[in-house]
């Protein structure tokens, strides 16, 4: 939910989108944190710049991923119940998958298993 893709041409438009995303981000109070973030935030900036050189007109592109991960909290310590507990379980699950993906990528080609489980979480799929 709340995935948005926008084309912008100025710094102020970019900052407006960051502000918008920050405003709709889910937070709530737990025993461990008064403003606990209950969702991950991703801001993916894709730049496409036309360049002209001796080879003709081309597009130089780059991508920058800015990620603010929701914190992992133990259910027992946070005092979460019901919906907040399910949110915490989902956060913990996606962070676990992120850890698995990073481990697999760090192994490189030295291991037998080449499968990287990035599709097991929306977070890792988007990244």
pLDDT tens digit string along 73-122?
A: 666 666 666 766 677 777 778 888 888 888 888 887 766 667 788 888 88
**Dihedral (C-alpha) 110, 112, 115, 120: value to the nearest 10 degrees?**
-100
Confidence at residue 62, expressed as pLDDT on a 0 to 100 scale: 93
Which one has a higher pLDDT value, 29 or 43?
43
Single pTM value for the model: 0.59
pLDDT, mean of residues 14-27: 82
Percent residues over pLDDT 70 in the chain: 73
Using DSSP's 3-state secondary structure scheme, residue 102 falls into helix
Span 53-62, pLDDT tens digits: 888 899 999 9
Q: How many CA atoms lie within 13 A of 90 on its CB side?
A: 13
Using the structure block, give the residue that is written with the tokens 């709340």. Answer: 2
The first and second tokens of residue 43, run together, are: 């801001």
Q: What is the mean pLDDT of the chain?
A: 78
């Amino acid at each position: 939910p709340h995935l948005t893709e926008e084309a912008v041409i100025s710094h102020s438009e970019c900052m407006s989108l960051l502000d918008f995303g920050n405003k709709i981000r889910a937070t709530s109070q737990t025993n461990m944190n008064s403003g606990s973030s209950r969702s991950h935030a991703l801001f993916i900036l894709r730049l496409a710049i036309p360049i002209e050189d001796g080879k003709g007109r081309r597009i130089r592109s780059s991508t920058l991923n800015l990620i603010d991960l929701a914190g992992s909290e133990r259910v027992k310590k946070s005092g979460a119940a019901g919906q907040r507990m399910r949110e915490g379980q989902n956060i913990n699950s996606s962070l676990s998958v992120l850890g698995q993906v990073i481990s697999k990528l760090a192994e490189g080609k030295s291991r037998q298993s080449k499968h990287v489980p990035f599709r097991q979480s929306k977070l890792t799929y988007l990244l």
